Amino acid sequence: MANIKKIGIVAATAAAVVAAFTFAQAKAKMEASAPAVGTAAPSYFLPDQDGQMHTLASDKGKAVLLAFYPADGTSGCTLEAHSLSSAYKDLKALGVTVYGVSVQDPKSHKSFCTKEGIPYTLLADTEKKMSAAYGVLIPGVGIANRVTYLIGADGKVAYIDTNVNGHLLTCGEDWAAWVKAHPAASASARVSLASFSPSASGPAVIGKSAPSFTLPDTTTGKPVSLGSLGTSKKATVLLFVSTRCPVSNAYNSRMAALAKKYTALGVAFAGIDANTTESTREIADFVKQQAFLFPILKDSDDKVADAYAAHVTPETYVIDKQGVLIYHGRIDNDMDPANVKTHELSTALDAVLAGKPVARPEAKAFGCSIKRGG
Amino acid sequence: MPAYAHAAVIVPATAATIKQAIAARRGHVVLVNFWATWCGPCIAEFPDIVRVSRQLKPQGLETLAVTADSRKDIATKVLPFIVKSGASFPVYLEQSADPQDFITAFDLSWQGDLPRTFIYDRRGKLVRTLSGQQTAQSLTAAVRPYLKP
């Protein structure tokens, strides 16, 4: 009896040692093998949901998007699949071959594709070699982490998104926006900035996913999406501003100071100008003149202002790293710095950085109406 | 006594003050215009507010204006503007502890954008909300259905 018990303990200890060893080994291997941007992408040779084989060599000369995900049919993976499915047409038009990669077998992939109407190819990494080669295999668990690689037409890693969970609902369109902004990454991407069309979803509700959008930066002309702003950031602040509104202008130095302070703490900032009366050039000059550390995006058709139901300048929004809108409203209670008593925007940012709920998620003040187009 | 003498006093007000002023005019249609001297469209619209107020007063229209200007701008900007406009209706200065309380007291969906005009019928019920710069024509059209025939 005593002997049996003793053997049991020894066996359990041995199992624990093996598990610990595997974990350390896997972790070390994962860190060592994760390819960096600019390095050659690891090759692969895997079947898809129909049993057809795919290799990096056969995809040579094309940009390849590899969306590693943990498992078919789970909720996060389904959300990601929906976003990637809706962006699939855009990615294809940009010359990007799209693969979802997980450790389930072709049969599981087939039923996931059918059930969710997934138009892109799912690779079955049942031996976990590809997941390991890309450094995404979760140690001890043996499934792929949610990481996306974009491989350029030259076969080198062009972009790695390790924060897919931070923008699950918009990841597909955010990746398409990234490819559009980096045409060199895909040889067959015949995309000029002129063909880029601004977009936004909606509406904005406190506690819900903030509407995604893609708008041009007035300084560089390049598209900026909500996802690209917030990737690997602790929060994102959107500031609806105007170059001419006296209230917005009364806040210029306060906005610059807030951006300086909170950018250093890991918060992303972007201004949005939705006034049809203010041109891109005027806004770009304004950014330069104010020495803002953040870009101001041009919302020409008021799509984003409409999606966010923004009405005044300045009007601000704070989005947490999960993409949820957590604050909407004023910067502080008064345009005249002498009368300022409460600082709602910085209070909200302090709360989100401390991992606490925002006590006052909405605060209004008088401002200039946004001059919308016809 | 010059016509602007009534308006040459600006009364500090909370939302409750304005609500009381509306209630005190029961039996009249009441037009409440929110504006500020820093607001371009408000300045452009104000002469039309003055004109419509004067034209429709005989038919029972009462007008109130509420400015969101800073207290420090009252003597230098707000008073000279009111005097020049020839307004003969009361002008209030928003002086609530928190602008949000003031804004939401009138319309929960209002984000604080100016100008804004609210129209109350003869029983004191809010019947119209006008956002953005109005004209004499659009103001008249909004008010007329509630006036005595």
Lowest mean pLDDT among A154-168, A336-350, B82-96: A154-168
- Does one domain contain both A202 and A140? no
Spell A139-173 as b/e; 16+ CB within 10 A means b. Answer: beeebbbbbbbbbbbbbebbbbbebbbbbbbbbbb
3-state SS assignment for residue A14: helix
| Contact yes or no for A85/A120 (Cβ under 8 A) | yes
Bin A357: left if φ > 0, else alpha if -120 < ψ < 50, else beta: beta
- Does one domain contain both A254 and A187? no
3-state SS assignment for residue A192: coil
Stretch A154-172: mean pLDDT? 86
The answer to whether A360 faces chain B, any CB pair under 8 Å, is: no
Give the other-Cβ count within 10 Å of B40's Cβ: 19
- Does one domain contain both A116 and A226? no
Q: Does the structure show a pLDDT above 80 at A320?
A: yes
The CATH number that applies at residue A136 is 3.40.30.10
Q: Which of B74, B107, B113 best tests the A interface by mutation, with the highest count of A CBs <10 A?
A: B113
In the residue annotation, A171 being an active-site residue is answered as no
- Does one domain contain both A269 and A352? yes
* A203 upstream amide cis, omega within 30 of 0: yes
- Does one domain contain both A218 and A361? yes
Q: Identify the band that residue A94 occupies on the pLDDT scale cut at 50, 70 and 90.
A: confident
- Does one domain contain both A144 and A174? yes
Q: Chain A partners of B72 at a C-beta cutoff of 8 Å?
A: 336, 338
H or E element that contains A367 = strand A367-369
Q: In this structure, is residue A15 part of a structural domain?
A: no
Q: In this structure, is residue A20 part of a structural domain?
A: no
Residue ending a domain, among A191, A216, A251, is A191
The answer to whether A314 faces chain B, any CB pair under 8 Å, is: no
Which residue does chain A place closest to B34, by CA atoms? Answer: A366
ipTM (interface predicted TM): 0.86
The answer to whether domain B3-146 has CATH 3.40.30.10 is yes
Count the domains in chain A: 2
Q: Identify the band that residue A15 occupies on the pLDDT scale cut at 50, 70 and 90.
A: very low
The answer to whether A330 faces chain B, any CB pair under 8 Å, is: yes
Angle, nearest 10°, between helix axes A75-93 and A106-116? 80
Stretch B34-41: mean pLDDT? 95
How far, CA to CA in Å, does B11 sit from each of A49, A239, B81, B111? Answer: 75, 33, 15, 24
- Does one domain contain both A182 and A212? no
- Does one domain contain both A184 and A207? no
- Does one domain contain both A139 and A208? no
pLDDT in tens, A180-212: 888 777 653 333 333 456 677 767 889 999 998
Supply the range of the domain harboring residue A152: 45-191
Q: Which of B100, B108, B109 best tests the A interface by mutation, with the highest count of A CBs <10 A?
A: B100
pLDDT in tens, A23-73: 444 444 444 568 888 888 888 888 899 888 888 776 767 889 999 999 998
Exposure of B104 by Cβ count < 10 A (0-12 exposed, 13-18 middle, 19+ buried)?
middle
CA distance A98 to A63: 9
Cβ within 8 Å, pair B38-A247: yes
- Does one domain contain both A220 and A336? yes
Residue ending a domain, among A163, A191, A219, is A191
- Does one domain contain both A119 and A167? yes
User: What percent of chain A lies above the pLDDT cut of 90?
Assistant: 54
* A350 contacts: CB under 8 Å, gap ≥ 6: none
Residue ending a domain, among A191, A222, A248, is A191
Q: What is the pLDDT of residue A184?
A: 74
- Does one domain contain both A158 and A208? no
pTM of the complete model? 0.62
pLDDT in tens, B91-147: 999 998 899 999 999 998 899 999 999 999 999 999 999 999 999 999 999 999 999
Q: Does the structure show a pLDDT above 90 at A19?
A: no
Cβ within 8 Å, pair B112-A310: no
Cβ within 8 Å, pair A312-B112: yes
Q: Does the structure show a pLDDT above 60 at B7?
A: no
Cβ within 8 Å, pair B113-A312: yes
Cβ within 8 Å, pair A369-B38: no
CA distance A327 to A268: 15
| Contact yes or no for B63/B117 (Cβ under 8 A) | no
Q: In this structure, is residue A52 part of a structural domain?
A: yes
- Distance separating the N- and C-terminal Cα atoms of chain B: 32
CA distance A349 to A267: 8
CA distance B30 to B77: 26
CA distance A364 to A370: 15
The alpha carbon of residue A333 is apart from the nearest alpha carbon of chain B, in Å, by 7
The answer to whether B45 faces chain A, any CB pair under 8 Å, is: no
